[in-house]
Amino acid sequence: MKTTVEIPDALYRRLKARAAIQGKSVKDYLVEAVRDKLAATAASPKQKTGWRAVYGAARPEDVAELQRIIDQEFSGVDPEGWD
């Protein structure tokens, strides 16, 4: 199948050079790159959304600040009133 893709000039020059270094045509290089990208996406676990997408990636100081806010908010909760 044929398709038309617009690629910025600077990116195309890098693409063409990389393909040439590997002894491939631009077409072959692009097809391989797309195959690799699709295979990697299929092999990886389902992408997480919302807070799960960044869980564990936050800076420790941001986590500490968030915990401070949570602690402050929960300090006003009366545990006896939860029954």
For residue 2, pLDDT beyond 80 = yes
**pTM for the model:** 0.51
Q: How many CB atoms neighbour CB 68 within 10 A? A: 10
Residues 6+ apart with CB under 8 A from 6: none
For residue 17, pLDDT beyond 80 = yes
- Written as six digits, the tokens of 50 are 């919302």
Q: Mean per-residue pLDDT for 19-44?
A: 89
Mean pLDDT across the chain, nearest whole number?
85
Give the H/E segment covering residue 79. Answer: none
Cα–Cα distance for residue pair 30/15, rounded to 1 Å? 8
What distance separates the 2 farthest-apart alpha carbons in the chain?
A: 73
Share of the chain above pLDDT 90, in %: 43
